Amino acid sequence: GENVEQHPSTLSVQEGDSAVIKCTYSDSASNYFPWYKQELGKGPQLIIDIRSNVGEKKDQRIAVTLNKTAKHFSLHITETQPEDSAVYFCAASKGGSYIPTFGRGTSLIVHP
Amino acid sequence: EAGVTQSPTHLIKTRGQQATLRCSPISGHTSVYWYQQALGLGLQFLLWYDEGEERNRGNFPPRFSGRQFPNYSSELNVNALELEDSALYLCASSFGAFSGANVLTFGAGSRLTVL
């Protein structure tokens, strides 16, 4: 089955810096890659996603890049703010009857 | 539009007891997924229901079971509770299994504590 590796497990940055979280996947048939943000005491919330026919997608301060050849994708957060502090999960999915596989999560801490 | 709702928010049980957790999906969603999130760990897939049927099951013992009702709501049952079952149980919903990529929307979770 699919295997998703996520790094780093913890990321500490100063407010205003950029943060990058990387994920790799094993199944070349995966075609949908969402990113979720989980704040303390809440469920994961979808913040951005990308499909395999697109190499990059941006939404304000967050962007996701996908390299299908290398089977890795990354989340980029620019101009980080304290409210960006949360656990971020990547996932890979190929739709249909296959369930999404999640990475183990990255705890992002933004120091004011 | 109401999101995915889960109940109860918190549940405290003792070893050997049974726990039942409930989930109502977003209107129009027919798939419900259950995940276990133990402290410090990621999202471990438990069960997936679609159109009332179990579509997939994660690597959990049979004492973890569930069902999906005709209105697409779902419940997760955990029998013979063990201390290591203490975790946040997350429910997610999506459109049907064969509607395309599984875009999951999560609820806030039910925190189960086993003493």
Which pLDDT tens digit goes with each residue over B65-75? 999 999 999 99
In B, which residues are within 8 Å of A49 by CB distance?
A: 103
- In this complex, the residue of B97, B102, B106 whose CB is nearest that of residue A43 is B106
Query: Is B25 touching A (CB cutoff 8 A)?
Result: no
pLDDT the model gives residue A1: 78
In B, which residues are within 8 Å of A97 by CB distance?
A: 55-56, 97-98
According to DSSP, the residues that pair with B8 across neighbouring strands are none
Spatial separation of the C-alpha atoms in residues B72 and A68, rounded to whole Å: 35
- In this complex, the residue of A44, A95, A105 whose CB is nearest that of residue B101 is A95
In B, which residues are within 8 Å of A94 by CB distance?
A: 101
Spatial separation of the C-alpha atoms in residues B54 and B30, rounded to whole Å: 12
User: Which of the four pLDDT bands, split at 50, 70 and 90, describes residue A99?
Assistant: confident
Query: Per-residue pLDDT for B39 more than 70?
Result: yes
Closest residue on chain A to B111 (Cα): A41
| B77: its two tokens | 């049952």
- Segment B84-113 shows an average pLDDT of 88
Report how many Cβ contacts below 8 Å link chain A to chain B: 58
User: pLDDT tens across A57-82, in order?
Assistant: 999 999 999 999 999 999 999 999 99
